[in-house]
Amino acid sequence: MAKVSENDSNLWHKTCAERVSAPPLKTDTTVDLVIVGGGFTGLSAALHAAEAGASVCLLEAREIGYGGSGRNVGLANAGLWLPPDDIRAHLGQQAGDRLIVLLAGAPAYVYDLIARHDIACEPVRNGTLHCAHSAAGLADLRNRHAQLAATGAPVALLSAGDTAKRTGSDAFHGALFDPRAGTIQPLGYVRGLARAAQAAGAQIHGNSPVVELSHQDGTWSARTPGGAVRARALIQATNAYHQGLNTHVPAYVPVHYFQYATAPLPDRLRATILPGGEGCWDTALVMSSFRMDAAGRMIIGAMGDLGHFASGIHTAWVRRKLAQLFPVLADQPLQLGWHGRIAMTSDHIPKITRPGPNALAAHGYSGRGIGPGTMFGKGMAEALLSGDESKLPIAPVVDHVERVTGVQQAYFETGATLMHLIKARVGY
Ligand SMILES: Cc1cc2nc3c(=O)[nH]c(=O)nc-3n(C[C@H](O)[C@H](O)[C@H](O)COP(=O)(O)OP(=O)(O)OC[C@H]3O[C@@H](n4cnc5c(N)ncnc54)[C@H](O)[C@@H]3O)c2cc1C
């Protein structure tokens, strides 16, 4: 079993075909828009702002894609975790419908950006399968299918037999197929956005942690150890990996998620396991996911933190889970393992907040950041540059507060650990 650390055992770092040069900031500069955070949100904002003719400087504390964007499963989904009725219940009919329509089109927008900028990120748009792990899971999928179909989404509910044919596993009661979605190599996508933003004129600086943000006389100043950026407008896109600033700290419930990758599978196995290349996750409360990469590695993931004393329970579980789903993979070594932190909000709705005048921040995509991060970054850049907040995907709130997040985090992590321990006792 591979040693697990931050990103040095992360498959996406080993296989990324995109390279981007983002030297640290070493001077003082003045631009129209300064962006803090180099993930999907910040880089989409940088790309769209630079393409609109604004001068842009993005500051990333570590390397591009260091946060959730480079640790992701790579499922480019259409929509949020929540089914449409729940989104409307939280936001109201009109705002809910607007967000549902915007995010329904997000995968098409992402794959179009990938094609337009020739981003090397293994794009496969063959749909996703939300797999029912139980009869109750299938009932949930029936409900989701009805709600999504009512919005005009081209989704299909698959029988257990059809799900077995598509996945190569007979473990599921059925699945919800969404042909709008697909898979990507997430680090390739985020690095490709950075490369495209640079080509459009944006300055992108890695290893440039913003240690102080201030606003005076209509100008923002973002100070890093190497220099400062002054700008009329600010976007903060630090999300679950916010660090080094005690101002405008995003409020969310941290949920950890880990993944392991096998070696590339031989062709005879690739012909039967996910031959159509869909990305999959299941309906279990402590959910798990599986997909293939371009080289034919099986990537399996689940909720849990690999960085604590009981993490061996998660890694032992994932081996059994792989064998349970795909008995032919029981002896496949797991070569690489990595994990990341998801910013969940209690209502599972992402938030746009206001760090101050002419400034916006976004966080809390609750595990759905590829499409939403791309659209929220774009919308925030457009709104700040035009002064027209109707361009935002969702109305901003002055601030967003989550109560007892430490307790909730412990609840999720303990729940995931216990669930994986109990499953060990009952046989998988
Ligand atoms: C394990 C995992 C699996 C996931 N799977 C999926 C999936 O399959 N599909 C999907 O759609 N979503 C998925 N998500 C969610 C998705 O990855 C996130 O929602 C998304 O990456 C958020 O992008 P972001 O740009 O907002 O934040 P991030 O990518 O986290 O970027 C924030 C950046 O800000 C930087 N930063 C922080 N503080 C400072 C500072 N002071 N100065 C400068 N820079 C700073 C950080 O270093 C970081 O790079 C997953 C998340 C995880 C963790």
Task: Give distance in angstroms: CA of 67 to centre of ligand 1.
Answer: 4
Give the model's pLDDT for residue 423: 59
Task: Give distance in angstroms: CA of 270 to centre of ligand 1.
Answer: 30
Residue closest via CA to ligand 1's atom 25 equals 39
| Residue type at position 362 | A
Task: Give distance in angstroms: CA of 315 to centre of ligand 1.
Answer: 23
Q: Which two tokens stand for residue 284?
A: 């279990």
Give the model's pLDDT for residue 189: 98
Reported as a pLDDT band with limits 50, 70 and 90, residue 313 is confident
Reported as a pLDDT band with limits 50, 70 and 90, residue 425 is low
| CA-derived radius of gyration, the chain | 21
Is the confidence at residue 383, as pLDDT, over 70?
Answer: yes
CA distance 422 to 428: 9
For the chain, give the mean pLDDT. 93
CB 401 within 8 A of CB 251: yes
**What are the backbone angles phi and psi of residue 323, rounded to the nearest 5°?**
-70, -35
Beta strand pairing call for 212-216 and 203-205: unpaired
Give the model's pLDDT for residue 4: 43
Cβ-proximal residues to 158 (8 Å cutoff; 6+ apart), any chain? 129, 166, 174, 175, 176, 177
Q: Which two tokens stand for residue 268?
A: 């005879």
Query: What's the mean pLDDT in 186-213?
Result: 98
Best probe residue, ligand 1, of 241, 249, 338, 353 (max atoms within 8 Å of C-beta): 241
Query: What's the mean pLDDT in 282-295?
Result: 94
Query: What's the mean pLDDT in 388-398?
Result: 94
CA distance 292 to 147: 29
Is the confidence at residue 5, as pLDDT, over 50?
Answer: no
Q: Which residue has the tokens 């990595």?
A: 338
pTM above 0.85, yes or no: yes
**Roughly what angle, to the nearest 10 degrees, separates helices 93-104 and 84-91?**
140
| Residue type at position 101 | V
**174, 178, 184, 187: CA torsion to nearest 10:** -90
- Ligand 1: residues whose CB is within 6 Å? 36-42, 59-62, 66-69, 71-75, 77, 209-210, 237-245, 257, 340-342, 365, 367-370, 373
Is the confidence at residue 147, as pLDDT, over 90?
Answer: yes
As a whole-number percent, the residues of the chain with pLDDT over 90 amount to 85
Task: Give distance in angstroms: CA of 339 to centre of ligand 1.
Answer: 12
